[in-house]
């Protein structure tokens, strides 16, 4: 097996599917010739040609909207939006069409499309390059939302996303694009969309997180371990449809819940998880479910970003307080 970072693992997933299925095409701003601003599609145009891997004009609505059309006419488009902060010009195409074409046409037409975008904060970037707005997409009926936390998961989930018969928003935590290296099979394998992973077992507290936040939580858990605390860590992997069972079973065991994400707190993903747990495991809850999240403000420019994003200390602090309740 090769050792890959997330950029390489995603590239490998695209490579596998491009080789395997002629209906797969890959495109986006700068995604062709230069292989994307993060080099995720590097080498693919050279290998598969300009018809299958190509650059587009600077226009997100038509990138997604033409993807809808391509999918209707038999392709499996994988489009790249250069940063998650630039998906909004395409929002109408996503919510009004990608998410609805199957239902609208009673299954006559469907949109097996993947919209990939580098996602999340922590790279000291310009404005609009650091947000975590997955809740917007998770709330829209008809979309699946996937956020991997490791190279291995990224590849397996992306292959599943490309093979999925419905539109998938695939957010790639840019902070850990190159931060984690891992053994990743060169060939094809799948990780099921809609299935969370238990990364660590424990019985005093359930922590739910995903994406780059997993690493932050893991750092906090090292400290917690030294304190003798027994914490279960769930990597959600898919935001919608959510793996409620894994979360609920865990909370039934631990009696306590903490959700950590970079997204703004109010109306964010943690709220949904807390609501679900209330509905299904109310009598098991021994402490108020807690949230460690971004603020209800715009992400600050780099000089302020460390104040904004939850770090291991903040997660640790919340772990302690929830267990001590």
Ligand X SMILES: Cc1ncc(C[n+]2csc(CCOP(=O)(O)OP(=O)(O)O)c2C)c(N)n1
Scan residues 62-91 and list those touching a second copy (CB under 8 A): 85, 88-89, 91
Rounded to an integer, what distance in angstroms lies between the CA atom of residue 63 and that of residue 32?
Answer: 14
Q: Which of 97, 129, 139, 261 is catalytic?
A: 129
DSSP for 93-146, please give it.
HIIIIITTHHHHTTTSS----EEEEEE-S-S---TTSS---HHHHHTSTT-EEE
Nearest distance, CB of residue 222 and another protein, angstroms: 17
Nearest Cα neighbor of 264 from 220, 210, 308 is 308
Rounded to an integer, what distance in angstroms lies between the CA atom of residue 197 and that of residue 131?
Answer: 24
192 interacts with, out of a second copy, another protein, ligand X, none, CB within 5 to 8 A per kind: none
Binding mask 36-65 for another protein (x = CB under 8 A): -x-------------x---xxxxx-xx-xx
73 interacts with, out of ligand X, a second copy, another protein, none, CB within 5 to 8 A per kind: another protein
Q: With contacts defined by CB under 8 A, name the span among 22-30, 118-126, 133-141, 229-237 that binds a second copy.
A: 133-141
Q: With contacts defined by CB under 8 A, name the span among 66-74, 151-159, 208-216, 226-234 that binds another protein.
A: 66-74
Nearest distance, CB of residue 250 and ligand X, angstroms: 39
108 interacts with, out of ligand X, another protein, a second copy, none, CB within 5 to 8 A per kind: another protein
Joined tokens for residue 102: 């199957």
Nearest Cα neighbor of 156 from 116, 113, 126, 186 is 186
Residue 226 makes contact with another protein by CB under 8 A: no
Which residue's CB is nearer to a second copy, number 25 or number 115? 115
Within 10 angstroms of residue 142's Cβ, the number of other Cβ atoms is 18
Q: Quick check: is 128 catalytic?
A: no
Nearest distance, CB of residue 139 and another protein, angstroms: 12
Give the CA dihedral 16, 22, 28, 32, nearest 10 degrees.
70
Return the residue of 8, 48, 85, 322 that touches another protein, per CB under 8 A. Answer: 85
Q: Which residues of 72-92 are buried (b: 16+ CB within 10 A; e: fewer)?
A: beebbbbbbbbbbbbbeebee
Residue 244 makes contact with another protein by CB under 8 A: yes
- Binding residues (CB under 6 A) for ligand X: these are 29, 58, 60, 82, 86, 89
271 interacts with, out of another protein, ligand X, a second copy, none, CB within 5 to 8 A per kind: a second copy
Nearest distance, CB of residue 115 and another protein, angstroms: 13
Nearest Cα neighbor of 109 from 145, 140, 72, 77 is 72
Which residue's CB is nearer to a second copy, number 63 or number 154? 63
Which residue's CB is nearer to ligand X, number 25 or number 63? 63
Within 10 angstroms of residue 34's Cβ, the number of other Cβ atoms is 12
Residue 126 makes contact with a second copy by CB under 8 A: no
How would you list the strands of the sheet with 205-209, edge to edge?
A: 197-200, 231-235, 205-209, 257-264, 290-294
Return the residue of 200, 230, 285, 302 that touches another protein, per CB under 8 A. Answer: 302
Rounded to an integer, what distance in angstroms lies between the CA atom of residue 293 and that of residue 206?
Answer: 16
Q: Which residue has the tokens 């829209």?
A: 140
Which residues have a catalytic role annotated? 129
What is the contact surface with a second copy in residues (CB under 8 A)?
A: 61, 85, 88-89, 91-92, 95-96, 99-100, 103-104, 127-128, 133, 135-136, 138-142, 240, 242, 263-264, 266-272, 274-275, 278-279, 282, 285, 287-291, 295-298
């Amino acid at each position: 097996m090769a050792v890959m970072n997330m950029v390489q693992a995603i590239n490998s997933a695209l490579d596998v599917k491009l080789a395997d299925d002629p209906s797969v095409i890959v495109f986006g701003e700068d995604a062709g010739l230069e292989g994307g601003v993060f080099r995720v599609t590097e080498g693919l145009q050279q290998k598969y040609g300009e018809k299958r891997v190509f650059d587009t004009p600077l226009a997100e609505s038509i990138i997604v909207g033409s993807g809808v059309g391509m999918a209707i006419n038999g392709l499996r488009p994988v489009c790249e939006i250069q940063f998650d902060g630039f998906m909004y010009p395409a929002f109408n195409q996503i919510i009004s069409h990608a998410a609805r074409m199957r239902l609208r046409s009673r299954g006559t037409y469907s949109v097996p499309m993947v919209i990939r975008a580098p996602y999340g904060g922590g790279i000291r970037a310009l404005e609009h390059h650091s947000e975590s707005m997955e809740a917007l997409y998770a709330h829209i009926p008809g979309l699946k939302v996937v956020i991997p936390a490791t190279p291995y998961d990224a590849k397996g989930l992306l292959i599943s996303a490309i093979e999925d018969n419905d539109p998938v928003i695939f957010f790639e935590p840019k902070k850990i694009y190159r931060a984690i290296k891992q053994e990743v099979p060169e060939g094809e394998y799948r990780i099921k969309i809609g299935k969370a992973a238990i990364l660590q077992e424990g019985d005093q507290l359930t922590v739910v997180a995903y994406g780059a936040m997993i690493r932050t939580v893991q750092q906090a858990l090292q400290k917690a371990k030294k304190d003798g605390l027994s914490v279960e860590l769930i990597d959600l992997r898919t935001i919608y449809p959510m793996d409620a069972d894994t979360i609920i079973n865990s909370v039934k065991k631990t009696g306590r819940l903490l959700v950590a994400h970079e997204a703004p707190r109010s109306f964010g993903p943690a709220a949904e998880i807390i609501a679900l747990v209330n509905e299904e495991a109310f009598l098991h809850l021994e402490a108020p479910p807690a949230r460690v999240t971004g603020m209800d403000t715009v992400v600050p420019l780099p000089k302020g970003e460390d104040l904004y994003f939850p770090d291991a200390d903040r997660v640790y602090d919340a772990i302690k307080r929830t267990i001590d309740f």
